Amino acid sequence: MSDFTPTEMMTVAAARALSSKDVCFVGIGAPSAACNLARLTHAPGITLIYESGTIGTAPDVLPLSIGDGELCDTALTTVSVPEMFRYWLQGGRITVGFLGGAQLDRFGNINTTVVGGYETPKVRLPGGGGAPEIAISCGEIFITMKQSRRGFVEKLDFITSLGHGTGGRDRAEHGVHTKGPTRLITDLAIWQPDPETKEFTVTSLHPGVTKAQIMDTVGWAPKFAETMAETPAPTTEELLVLRDLHARTKAAHEGA
C-alpha cells in the first residue's frame, strides 16, 4: 500500500515517536489520532491521559473533545481535574505531552489564543486550556502541525504555551527544567531542536518532499541538518489501522 496522504504520513511519523513505556498527555485532533495509532500498533502498553482526568483510556473512536464520553467509558479510571494537574502533571508523572497549535515559531513556542492584537484580534482562538501547564510539566513535548506560512510564523501574536522561549538556555532561565519540545512532526518533515540554539532544524524529509517545499511553507529561513534522513513511508498495517480508526470515528459521529 504505497499511496498515502501528507496528513497520514504526519500521523504515522508522530505515532512512531511513542513507546509502550510512555505516559502521554494527549491533545485533541492530530495528537489524539497519533497517540491512538501508536496504542493500536507498536505501543499497546502506552498510557493515554486526557485533560478531563481520564487515565489509561482506550477509545474505539477518536474523541470530539476532552469531554467526550468515549474517554471516560474506556478509561482505567477517571480523576478530578485538580488531581490530574496537581498530582499527575505537576508531579512529574507524565513522560510526553502531545500538542498542536494555531501558530508556532522556530523555538517551539505555541499560540492558541489570538491572531492579531490581544485587545482587538483578527481571530480569537479557543485558548490554552491545559496546554500551558502541559508544555512546562511533561518530561518532553511532541508537536504536530501542518506546515503553512500562516501557522509557522517569525513572531507569535501571543505565546500561550512555552517552548524554548528565545532559544538557548532561556527556558531553564525561566525556572523550567523539563526538556520542552523535542520533536516537531509536520505533513512535510520531522524537525528537532538544535542542541545549543534550540531552534527547530529539519532532520528528516517525508517521501517526495523537497527543501524548497519546506522553505515555502514557513515564515522564517529554516535550517536543515547536515545529514538529513528520509522518513520511512507508512507501512500497510499502519495505514489500515489508521484508516479503520478514522472510518469508525466518522460513522460514530455521523450516527451511521
Contact present, 24 and 96 (Cβ < 8 Å): yes
| Angstrom distance (rounded) from CA 127 to CA 109 | 14
Q: How many CB atoms lie within 10 A of CB 146?
A: 15
Q: Does the active-site annotation cover 51?
A: yes
Q: Which long-range contacts (CB under 8 A, 24 or more apart) does 112-115 make?
A: 112/160, 112/161, 113/157, 113/158, 113/160, 114/157, 114/158, 115/157
| Angstrom distance (rounded) from CA 147 to CA 218 | 7
| Angstrom distance (rounded) from CA 108 to CA 236 | 32
| Angstrom distance (rounded) from CA 155 to CA 50 | 30
Contact present, 116 and 144 (Cβ < 8 Å): no
Q: Which residue among the candidates 8, 51, 133, 199 is catalytic per the annotation?
A: 51
List residues with catalytic annotation: 51
